[in-house]
Structure 1
């Protein structure tokens, strides 16, 4: 690897002169020309990481997500990278698979100034390792120390789903989910859904399939088995199913179709996230759409302010909307 000393030797100048050229400081025109010619000839690459460490800034941000299989996480990472690039930052993507040790390792990177800050979707007990002045933005999850949290309006999302079922005549509905039960905004969607249904005279229950954040094959089989048990004499006992994600809703739609249950004629389905087919096409199911791009912009804007030690809002809630995807009447 070509070093700054190699450039200095080739140009016949001091290392200090090369450093001044690299930092756009004043040097004699002839010396600048010789240094620039040597840089080009030797193919020298400026070590921006080392320069960042010297300035206590790397211009790199890490994002922690459970996985990139879920289309919501993939789209979120895509937007975060675009927004960061526009302001001169690079993104390090960290798949945690909900492993606390992995998440802690990424948090320690920020503590050691290897990255300038973190954006995180995390469901592990890492609370005690976070510090109040740490540039850290959480998505959905609540932490102590007043860590910044950005989320969509999960409470409104639950109400919108319930109101849709009520307005279309549903009488017995269910909320299906799996995921973390740690304190956070996402828990509000199920509670608001059940409460709104009950207030509207609609029977509402919930079914929790465990704390796995990623919908695994095992989790899918549990949902399929549950749905099979809910069919008596060719009829489904629920006429409305609200799920914690569009991925869940698609699993439910496929299984009901295979069992000969008409959607939305016999059973209506509403998912959560508002994902499109290939992120540009139609909605595969009716859903509560999260403003993913706005969430990414807000997370980056908040994190940059934290890095620059500027004041920020500690909890930011962004609006959601109901979108039609052919699984509601």
Structure 2
């Protein structure tokens, strides 16, 4: 038995094929009388009709898809962001195609070319580096993009990022308020705007609060990973550096500190306090639960999707960037110094 067509649905619902098409497309459903739309949808379900997105795309020159470019799907930061993106895309009649780059430039280029071959209407990019030739190329070629969590220098592209500087200021003020004066910073990669902004903010906060401004207490990790955080902390300890607290570039780097505490017989927070950044899920399950600067993960995704849809619908709309305010979630990994 042949699959039912749009014309079959229209005839059974007693409407024109164009009306049936609009009723079945979430993006245009609002153009149809609500009772008519419900009738068409019910008939389509009864007949077992499934729209053909390829045919629709050929007719409208729109695919109804956007690409989500993620640097590391194992990082718990990203699933809530993706959920926020999907919560906006779905009601608008769009779906997201997710690719994971593993922070590999060649893999990123290959994956983005794959997305473009599938005619995605835009990209939400969470992999941006300060110097990012591929992003610059995509911008020159007119690809609609929104940057998430990071930005690229010299590229006029909409972005939605947490207020990293304010977040680090809160972390240092929290530790200073507990009485810490020698605070180490395990920064993120300085190839990313996130790493650079948080590092600069840490140095400024230490000076503003008149704490020990010892450059040897600052070290940059090469990756936003647990292993990188552990490696950086081992180097500080092996170098004989003395400190009573750590501000980690992100929560994964902070988890690396926990690994080293176990190795070296250090107690947290009795010997060393730690503050993470991002407040990713399940930090309250750690022992001790990790104090962290909380970013609004879901809201970042929501705003990124809205920005991209605005760019698709209004190509001439001026570029805008948004900084989202952050909060501090205090748990058991911070305490006054012994």
Residue 57 of structure 1 corresponds to 62
Cα separation, 2, equivalents of 1:279 and 1:51: 47
Residue 175 of structure 1 corresponds to 185
The alpha carbon displacement at 1:176 in A equals 0.5
1:23 to 18, 21, 24: 21
Is the counterpart of residue 326 in structure 1 residue 332 in structure 2?
Answer: yes
Residue 174 of structure 2 corresponds to 164
Is the counterpart of residue 207 in structure 1 residue 219 in structure 2?
Answer: yes
Is the counterpart of residue 248 in structure 1 residue 249 in structure 2?
Answer: no
- Does structure 2 retain, via aligned residues, the 8 Å contact 1:302–1:312? no
Residue 32 of structure 1 corresponds to none
Residue 297 of structure 1 corresponds to 302
The structure whose Rg is larger is 1
- For 1:26-175, list aligned pairs within 5 A: 45-108=50-113, 114-122=119-127, 123=129, 124-131=132-139, 133-139=142-148, 140-175=150-185
TM-score with structure 1 setting the length? 0.79
The alpha carbon displacement at 1:230 in A equals 5.2
Cα-to-partner distance string for 1:108-140 (whole Å, 9 max, x where unaligned)? 456567111111111353133222643200111
SS, match of residue 147 in structure 1: coil
The alpha carbon displacement at 1:227 in A equals 5.1
Cα separation, 2, equivalents of 1:73 and 1:37: 39
User: CA 1:220–1:176 in structure 2 vs 1: closer, same or farther (change >3 Å)?
Assistant: closer
TM-score with structure 2 setting the length? 0.77
Q: How many residues were matched structurally?
A: 304
Cα separation, 2, equivalents of 1:320 and 1:37: 48
Cα separation, 2, equivalents of 1:39 and 1:275: 40
The alpha carbon displacement at 1:312 in A equals 4.9
Cα separation, 1, equivalents of 2:44 and 2:293: 58
Which blocks of at least 5 consecutive residues in structure 1 are unaligned?
26-35
User: CA 1:18–1:47 in structure 2 vs 1: closer, same or farther (change >3 Å)?
Assistant: farther
User: CA 1:4–1:109 in structure 2 vs 1: closer, same or farther (change >3 Å)?
Assistant: farther
The alpha carbon displacement at 1:298 in A equals 0.8
Whose helix proportion is higher, 1 or 2? Answer: 2
Cα separation, 1, equivalents of 2:180 and 2:173: 10
The alpha carbon displacement at 1:56 in A equals 1.7
**Greater alpha carbon shift after TM alignment, 169-178 vs 106-115:** 106-115
User: CA 1:46–1:271 in structure 2 vs 1: closer, same or farther (change >3 Å)?
Assistant: same
Cα-to-partner distance string for 1:273-321 (whole Å, 9 max, x where unaligned)? 0123189999931111111111111101111100101625521100011
Residue 31 of structure 1 corresponds to none
User: CA 1:87–1:284 in structure 2 vs 1: closer, same or farther (change >3 Å)?
Assistant: farther
CA RMSD of aligned residues (A): 3.4
Cα-to-partner distance string for 1:179-216 (whole Å, 9 max, x where unaligned)? 2514x244211111122112322124311132x34x26
User: CA 1:40–1:2 in structure 2 vs 1: closer, same or farther (change >3 Å)?
Assistant: farther
User: CA 1:313–1:279 in structure 2 vs 1: closer, same or farther (change >3 Å)?
Assistant: farther
Which blocks of at least 5 consecutive residues in structure 2 are unaligned?
24-41
Cα separation, 1, equivalents of 2:257 and 2:308: 37
- Does structure 1 retain, via aligned residues, the 8 Å contact 2:156–2:319? no
